[in-house]
Amino acid sequence: MPIGRWFSTIVAAFLATLAAGALSEHAFAQTPGVQAGGNAYAVDGVEVDASGADAVKAREQGIRDARRKALQMLVDRMVAPEDRARLPQVDDARLESMTRGVEFVNERSAPGRYIATLNVVFAPDQVKAWMSGAGAKTVETVQRPALVVPLWKGQDGVQPLDDRNSWRDAWQQLGSGGAVPVTVMRGDQTDQGVMTPEEAYVGDLSALSRLNARYRVPIIIVATVEGDKAKGTLTVGGLRYDTQTGQRSEIPKVSVPDAGQLSDAAKKMHAKVEEDWRGIATVRRDAQDSLDVVVPIRALADWVQVRQRLSAVPAVKNVSVKQLESDRAELRLDYFGSPEELQRTLAQAGLQLDKDADRWRLQPR
């Protein structure tokens, strides 16, 4: 056998092995309706402050308020913005029947007042019937948890990982809800053993990988504050590391008047991360189609990048390898939505989908 052909055969065999791994990972990643929290119809961290004639009445009102607030949060998460006005009002009786359960995370009662944080779980069938009955197109946003490494850099350099300050407090107050629920790095001896503050500050990929071996999250956000803790303007910025694709991107720096504004700065940074993820993770399940694509392969890294990024796109339901050669792979993508929506979603995931003559071509951007 000629050497060139022998080499191509070896490469193709190796690619086939990678493809098998990609398919198994993808099938796991795209289990419909499953979120990190385990239930697409659960809304966590609903805060209420209700009043009533006495403590019992106030508590009853608080639970009703929590159900209604949670339903609105679910609508914002699952219904396309242009369709939300179609949904009919729900009275208290129907809302109660749509609720599967309420979990009391934290509650305080006083004469005539009830303050609490609740988790509300809705009944999927009843919610779907209410939404579809109004002709609303539903979407699903798969959660993608993130680990936050809060850093403060002052005149003496980057502070220790276990430093307790208002920037760390701001991130801890965000809670675990939303499309990108966050966990704040512990900063304990174990963390300090795998990463130094300086490595975190520069975004050392080896250190971030070691850290992820402990926390095992899809995203690591290194959120930094630079300036004097006691006074003056602060600069907030950082970087975002995708542990699944290996991509690292900068978070643009912004100025904050003083430490009292750090809570708002953390919320805005988190909101931007969520916005970026929703662009990839929002799935319309009312339309489904298939598309045959060709992936040019110039090096093994091309195929690895494509399969890693495809596995992170919830709109792609399934990937089938039709043919695999040393210079290309022919795939069939089963996906939700339209071809145009798929193009936009893949672009946000770092993949370019173009039509070349009568064939679709997929490659890293």
Domain assignment of residue 264, yes or no: yes
Which residue, 111, 140, 169, sits at the end of a domain? 140
3 has a pLDDT exceeding 70: no
Residue 244: count other Cβ atoms within 10 Å of its Cβ.
16
Highest mean pLDDT among 13-22, 257-266, 283-292: 257-266
Highest mean pLDDT among 131-145, 174-188, 251-265: 251-265
- Residue 142 three-state SS: coil
Contact 81, 145 (CB under 8 A): no
**160 with 99, same domain?**
no
Task: List, for residues 78-112, the tens digit of each pLDDT value.
Answer: 887 788 899 999 999 999 999 999 999 999 999 99
CA 136 to chain centre: 24
**107 with 128, same domain?**
yes
Q: Where are the beta strands (DSSP E) in 2-134?
A: 42-51, 99-110, 113-122
Percent of the chain with pLDDT over 90: 54
pLDDT at res. 274: 83
Which residue, 281, 304, 335, sits at the end of a domain? 281
**58 with 112, same domain?**
yes
pLDDT at res. 279: 73
**159 with 274, same domain?**
yes
Distance CA 176, CA 303 (A): 34
**97 with 57, same domain?**
yes
Average per-residue pLDDT for the chain: 84
Hey, what are 248's tokens? 């690292």
Distance CA 354, CA 346 (A): 11
Contact 280, 218 (CB under 8 A): no
Contact 354, 361 (CB under 8 A): yes
Q: What is the mean pLDDT of residues 74-80?
A: 83
Domain assignment of residue 211, yes or no: yes
Task: List, for residues 5-37, the tens digit of each pLDDT value.
Answer: 333 433 444 444 444 444 433 333 333 333 333
350 has a pLDDT exceeding 50: yes
**74 with 182, same domain?**
no
In order of 149, 195, 222, 231, 265, the CA distances from 157 in angstroms are 16, 16, 16, 17, 21
pLDDT band at 358 (very low <50, low <70, confident <90, very high): confident
Q: What is the mean pLDDT of residues 114-126?
A: 94
Distance CA 102, CA 224 (A): 37
pLDDT band at 239 (very low <50, low <70, confident <90, very high): very high
3-state helix, strand, coil in the chain (%, to 5): 40, 35, 25
Residue 189: count other Cβ atoms within 10 Å of its Cβ.
9
Distance CA 177, CA 196 (A): 29
Domain assignment of residue 320, yes or no: yes
Helix axes 300-311, 3-29, angle to 10 degrees: 10
278 has a pLDDT exceeding 80: no
Domain assignment of residue 228, yes or no: yes
**270 with 345, same domain?**
no
137 has a pLDDT exceeding 90: no
Domain assignment of residue 132, yes or no: yes
**133 with 66, same domain?**
yes
Which residue, 246, 281, 316, sits at the end of a domain? 281
- How many structural domains compose the chain? 3
Task: List, for residues 311-345, the tens digit of each pLDDT value.
Answer: 878 889 899 999 988 899 999 999 988 888 898 88
**268 with 322, same domain?**
no
Distance CA 197, CA 161 (A): 6
Domain assignment of residue 18, yes or no: yes
Hey, what are 109's tokens? 């009662």
- Residue 227 three-state SS: coil
**58 with 125, same domain?**
yes
Q: Name the residue with higher pLDDT: 225 or 20.
A: 225
Confirm whether pTM is higher than 0.85: no
DSSP run (H or E) holding 252: strand 248-256
Domain assignment of residue 37, yes or no: no
Domain assignment of residue 197, yes or no: yes
DSSP run (H or E) holding 59: helix 55-78
Distance CA 277, CA 286 (A): 21
**136 with 154, same domain?**
no
**56 with 110, same domain?**
yes
Whichever domain contains 210, its CATH number is 3.40.50
Indicate the Cα dihedral angle 277, 278, 284, 285, nearest 10°: 50
Query: What is 167-199 written as a DSSP string?
Result: HHHHHHTT-S-SSS-EEE---SHHHHHH--HHH
Residue-range definition of the domain harbouring residue 58 = 42-140
